[in-house]
Amino acid sequence: MRRCVYIVESPLAARDVERFGMAVLQRHGFTVEVWEVDALFLPGSRHQALIPATGVAVTTVTTVEQLRSLAATLRPDDVVVAICGYYRDQAESHATLRTVLAEAPAKVAAVAAGSRPTRPAGIRSAARAVSADPRLLPWELKSEAARLLTAVRGSTRRSAGLPATHHLDWAFVGTDASDLDPSCIGPGTQVVPIHSFDFDRVLDVKATPAEAGRNLVFLDSMGPLHPDYESLGLRRGKTTTQEYFAIVCSVLAQVEKLAGLPVVIAAHPRATPGLLEPHYQGRTLAYGQTPALLSTARAVLMAFPSTATGMAVVFRRPLTLIVSRKFDPFVREDARAYSAHLPLNTIDADKQLKSWKIPVVSEEAYAGFESRYVRVAGTPLLPFWEVVARSLDGRDLHRP
């Protein structure tokens, strides 16, 4: 049987086994195994609290020598599926991984299916952000200045010339390959647009008309409880966990009163039952039910845009974004990025909410967002990893 080796840079969690389609590849005749390389490239991810995966062979890689030894066992008909290492900003940080895989005889595929709006990283766009955005707070100016410096350094490195990079055999992407390092994509790379990971979750969900919804849904982001603070080393702002949830719940209470509808909390997929209950003041919390909740919601609220926003867009649910100067800088950055692509109704949590109406959906804007960040029209209506498996097998994606 052919081997399929997944490369991940955080400990494999139970939800990852499904999210990365491991059972699908097994059904297609692959022997699946996982190499965890977080010790080499993202050591902070070991701090995450998660439910460990079972039923999959996992090897924890702690040295480059071990990585090279493992790669030496790969054969020409094996496939490596890299969940990390080939993104635009990983040319230097993951150079060792790329080199080791380039020297191995196996085919290599990269996956980038979590596309989302980001503030452009070019020199001009970063400079514009520093000079023209009147909403930037002092610490955000520092963040944008750092972004500008990064863009300048990147431009300098490009003009100086980077070492030749081994081209990928496949690039499995959401809507396009813009998240991947372009130096890894060559004439022989098969770029396969599929759709976002989250689109899998709405494939078989039938939505009711938004006007028939009897509740509002808040897309939880976990706030300061999110594990990426530890795994990615994100700098926490001055707002505590208690203060963050107090801000959010104050807005939710005002909206419930004005709309005459209750708010149900769609828990973040990385939250475990019991973690969020103390913070949402008795509201109904639903774990693992986000697609179903969105499909019947009257409208959707959020304090931090995420890929789940794409599901709300697919269901054409009115969206409202809660903003506050007390939220962490990167949250504010993401809010601005999403607002550039969607006409988001906003609620300023720093002011008393005197009135609120359910916003009107712009079909043109929602359709544009869906085609750019969720799914391109004409791509197969199949689960993401079914498309991957068929592509690895060389099968026609448009035939049963």
3-state secondary structure the chain: CEEEEEEECCCCEHHHHHHCCHHHHHHCCEEEEEEECHHHHCHHHHHCCCCECCCCEEEECCCHHHHHHHHCCCCCCCEEEECCCCEHHHCCCCHHHHHHHHHCCCEEEEEECCCCCCCCCCHHHHHHHHHHCCCCCHHHHHHHHHHHHHHHHHHHHHHHCCCCCCCCCEEEECCCCCCECHHHCCCCCEEEECCCHHHHHHCCCCCCCHHHCCCEEEECCCHHHCCHHHHCCCCCCCCCHHHHHHHHHHHHHHHHHHHCCCEEEECCCCCCCCCCHHHCCCCCEECCCHHHHHHHCCEEEECCCCCHHHHHHHCCCCEEEEECCCCCHHHHHHHHHHHCCCCCEEEECCCCCCCCCCCCCCHHHHHHHHHHHCCCCCCCCCCHHHHHHHHHHCCCCCCC
* 282 part of a folded domain: yes
- Structure confidence by residue, pLDDT tens digits, 225-270: 887 777 667 777 788 999 999 999 999 999 999 999 999 999 998 8
| pLDDT in the model for residue 166 | 80
Q: How confident is the model at residue 400 (pLDDT cuts 50, 70, 90)?
A: low
* 40 part of a folded domain: yes
| pLDDT in the model for residue 226 | 86
The yes-or-no verdict on residue 24 having pLDDT over 60 is yes
Q: What's the number of CA atoms in the CB half-sphere (13 Å) around residue 383?
A: 13
* 62 part of a folded domain: yes
Which percentage of the chain shows pLDDT scores above 90?
A: 68
How many domains, in total, are found in the chain? 2
CA-based nearest residue to 327, from 135, 147, 150: 135
Average pLDDT over residues 111-121: 73
| pLDDT in the model for residue 330 | 78
Q: Looking at the structure, do residues 182 and 59 belong to the same domain, yes or no? A: yes
Q: Looking at the structure, do residues 266 and 171 belong to the same domain, yes or no? A: no
Q: Looking at the structure, do residues 160 and 175 belong to the same domain, yes or no? A: yes
- Structure confidence by residue, pLDDT tens digits, 188-224: 999 999 999 999 999 999 999 999 999 999 999 998 8
Give the residue numbers spanning the domain of 381: 2-118+146-195+376-393
Q: Write down the mean pLDDT value for the chain.
A: 86
CA-based nearest residue to 140, from 154, 126, 153, 151: 126
List the end-to-end C-alpha distance of the chain, in Å, as a whole number: 23
* 133 part of a folded domain: no
CA-based nearest residue to 176, from 189, 188, 194, 202: 194
More confident residue, 153 or 40: 40
Which range of 40-49, 53-62, 128-137, 333-342 scores highest in mean pLDDT? It is: 53-62
Q: Looking at the structure, do residues 292 and 320 belong to the same domain, yes or no? A: yes
* 126 part of a folded domain: no
Q: Looking at the structure, do residues 65 and 165 belong to the same domain, yes or no? A: yes
* 141 part of a folded domain: no
| pLDDT in the model for residue 142 | 40
| pLDDT in the model for residue 396 | 60
- Structure confidence by residue, pLDDT tens digits, 135-182: 334 333 344 444 444 444 444 444 333 444 589 999 999 999 999 999
Average pLDDT over residues 101-128: 72
Q: Does residue 233 come out as left (phi exceeding 0), alpha (psi in the -120 to 50 range) or beta? A: left
CATH number at residue 154: 3.40.50
Q: Looking at the structure, do residues 350 and 386 belong to the same domain, yes or no? A: no
* 241 part of a folded domain: yes
Which amino acid, residue 158? Answer: R
Q: Looking at the structure, do residues 36 and 94 belong to the same domain, yes or no? A: yes
| pLDDT in the model for residue 398 | 57
Q: What's the number of CA atoms in the CB half-sphere (13 Å) around residue 361?
A: 19
- Structure confidence by residue, pLDDT tens digits, 281-338: 999 999 999 999 999 999 999 999 888 999 999 999 999 999 999 988 878 888 888 9
Q: Looking at the structure, do residues 311 and 342 belong to the same domain, yes or no? A: yes
* 400 part of a folded domain: no
